[in-house]
């Protein structure tokens, strides 16, 4: 299990991965009234008030004290919302995992932080499937995105979260949130969330999903490659993500390198 690392010992790839992750997590919650957002010197908390830990979480923990841990936990326990407490290498104190365990939380997920230089990104040619890829720009495409992502999250919670954010996502001037959907025979089969952070100049890949009946056909790989090339075309230099063990080999084939671990605690 990951233990937080001194910022002085972190490499640049890890710093960039964290910066994109934090900005991605706060982007939608900071722009819609239906999400409770708390950002202070000890933690960031986003509570979408839906029944899925993917949309309720704590991150960016800095020298947090027990009273502040209790304050954060109370936000979710009041209405028994599921949540995740995400820990990445620069979070402190070093014994934060033990502190959360003391309060009854357990490790629920471990992912690998990864990065890639987009300057040397190659096209994906190996048995590439046919997939029509669209960046979500209207309500119908947003519904298709929700349909795919709902296969891996609580459907009602996913619909509520993204529909509440529709005005932000579909605003013609917003460039950070890039939801992409892959279609085969006009049916949405794969989707992802590309977050472009202009401050760290990183392109983050999140919520990569393929409907179960269409998995193992290369759709997620092709969609990810397309999103990275889209970011590269806009001048972004680094791509980042957090990979599960199941997807690790796919990202390594694309050229991603492991830079750290990210763990989640929950109840």
Helix (H, G, I), strand (E, B) or coil at 227: helix
Residue 267 belongs to a domain = no
The tens digit of pLDDT for each residue in 187-219 reads 999 999 999 999 999 999 999 999 999 998 999
Q: How far is CA 48 from CA 26, 144, 174, in A?
A: 11, 21, 21
The tens digit of pLDDT for each residue in 215-250 reads 989 999 999 999 999 999 999 999 999 999 989 999
Q: Are residues 58 and 155 in the same domain?
A: no
State which residues form the domain around 78.
7-112
Residue 266 belongs to a domain = no
The per-residue DSSP string of 33-93 comes to: TTSEEEE-SS-EEEE--SS-TTSEEEE---S--HHHHHHHHHHHHTTT---EEEE-TT-SS
Q: 249: how many CB neighbours lie within 10 A of its CB?
A: 10
Residue 264 belongs to a domain = no
* Longest Cα–Cα distance in the chain: 54
Domain boundary among 85, 112, 139: 112
Q: What is the pTM of this model?
A: 0.94
Q: Are residues 18 and 32 in the same domain?
A: yes
Q: Are residues 165 and 248 in the same domain?
A: yes
| Structural domains in the chain (count) | 2
Q: Are residues 138 and 94 in the same domain?
A: no
Q: Report residue 171 as tokens.
A: 């605003």
Domain boundary among 90, 112, 134: 112
């Amino acid at each position: 299990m990951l233990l937080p690392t001194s910022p002085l010992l972190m490499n640049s790839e890890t710093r960039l991965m964290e910066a994109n992750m934090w900005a991605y997590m706060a982007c939608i919650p900071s722009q819609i009234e239906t999400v409770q957002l708390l950002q202070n010197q000890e933690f960031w908390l986003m509570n979408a008030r839906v029944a899925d830990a993917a949309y309720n979480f704590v991150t960016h923990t800095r020298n947090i004290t027990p009273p502040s841990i209790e304050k954060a936990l109370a936000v979710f326990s009041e209405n028994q919302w599921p949540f995740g407490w995400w820990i990445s290498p620069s979070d402190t104190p070093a014994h934060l995992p033990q502190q959360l365990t003391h309060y009854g939380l357990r490790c629920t997920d471990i992912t690998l932080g990864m990065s890639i230089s987009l300057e040397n990104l190659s096209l994906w040619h190996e048995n590439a499937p046919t997939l029509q890829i669209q960046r979500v720009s209207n309500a119908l495409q947003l519904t298709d995105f929700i349909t795919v992502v709902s296969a891996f999250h609580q459907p009602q919670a996913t619909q509520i979260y993204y529909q509440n954010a529709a005005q932000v996502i579909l605003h013609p001037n917003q460039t950070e949130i890039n939801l992409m959907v892959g279609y085969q025979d006009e049916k949405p089969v794969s989707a992802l969330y590309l977050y472009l952070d202009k401050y760290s100049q990183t392109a983050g890949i999140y919520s990569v999903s393929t409907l179960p009946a269409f998995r193992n056909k290369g759709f997620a790989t092709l969609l990810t490659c397309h999103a990275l090339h889209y970011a590269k075309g806009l001048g972004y230099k680094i791509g980042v993500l957090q990979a599960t063990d199941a997807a690790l080999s796919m990202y390594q084939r694309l050229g991603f390198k492991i830079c750290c671990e990210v763990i989640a605690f929950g109840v």
